[in-house]
Structure 1
Amino acid sequence: MKYKKVPLTAVRRLSIYARTLSDLENRGRETVSSEELGLDANIPSTQVRKDLAYFGQFGTRGKGYSVKELNRKLREILGLDRSWNVALVGAGNLGKALFSYPGFRRQGFHIVAVFDNDPAKIDKEWKGLKIQHIKKLPEIVKEKKISIGIIAVPSSAAQEVAETMCRAGIKAILNFAPKRLFLPPECKQGTVDLAIELENLSYFLTK
């Protein structure tokens, strides 16, 4: 289903709501008000209602939201009602940490291919998955129906890797390299720069 243009910040909050609802569901809650959901998610209830309104009408006035139904709907909106095959490029320390992170698989993101260009790493196995040379990425993306790519390479190589991913048919990229990527609009991207996150925290510590 297509929705009207939604701010990225609202989409990110949907993930927080979905996690909060999953926790409530595990605790046996059947209904929740926007005030309660906002309190648990540490987000104002007015913002909760505004965010949900982008995607339709939920809940009943005076009764709140069905925890199970709202959680199901938000997971559907976020694409978490299916599995996604993921390619990881970069078999260094960061790449290995990302590959080993169990949270991806729990949410339906399965790293099914790992690539590098270091001859010393090619053909080594991580939990039974063989590291492939980056030149094999296009054929493996097609073979394994990979939709998402993760970049964990030095910044000097990130742009080239991202372009290779896009040409191979990958539609979304999560970039861990500290570099801004320039990609065609049909190839969506997100960036996680851990140094910037620490810099933001250090800013507040100096005040």
Structure 2
Amino acid sequence: MEAAFNAFDPDLYVATLHSRPEKPIDNTARPDEEPATQRGYHFEPLNLEERDPDISTIASQAAAPVDLFLQFLPEKIVEKWVQYTNEAADRYSRENHDFSRSWKPVNLAEVYLFIGIIIYIGLHREADLRSYWAANTFEKFLPDHPISRLMTRDRFFQLFRRVRIYNEAALDPTESHDPLNYQKVDEYSNFLQNEAISLWKPGLRVAVDECIIGYKGRSKITLTIPSKP
């Protein structure tokens, strides 16, 4: 049989021989073998061939950091986001005339600029998003952020609310095994995972810290460990 790495990703699989899932929608598998009736006296260890991790040429010899960035966010992906965003905005504008007067369709360059601003904001933290566009006064001196000259505050917040990385028309709210929140990121999540797999092949020794794996159980308690990546 085969089992997916996670229940919401149909593209990545690992073979699980002589085992069965605990639940129909659960990836946890247990042995499906008859119990042994006799005790063994001879142990044969599993000998694995030594294998070093391999990083592809694209990742190790990128001409510039932006080349590696574009590997994970190429134009073909952003062009889809442009299409999804404009289509969703068109549907909304038919119901909201005030929005239709203020909205201008996005293009490829503007979405890339918006993503760049998001990255900048992540590196240069302010208490409030509006602070990046705030003007200096005699009473209060504020940092001068260059992004304020690249995109207006109103346009940024408009895109912040309206940029779509998924096709709204393709969402299925009746799909119980794939909630809407997962459907919205499935397409790009699958692309990221496939690109990462194509760039890096793990070696023989791999360690995974359980604290960096997101927990999707029933607990509503969120535990944040600042020292973990």
Indicate the structure whose relative CO is greater, using CA pairs within 8 Å and at least 6 residues apart: 2
Higher helix share: 1
Instruction: Normalising by structure 1, report the TM-score.
Output: 0.25
Instruction: Normalising by structure 2, report the TM-score.
Output: 0.23
Higher strand share: 1
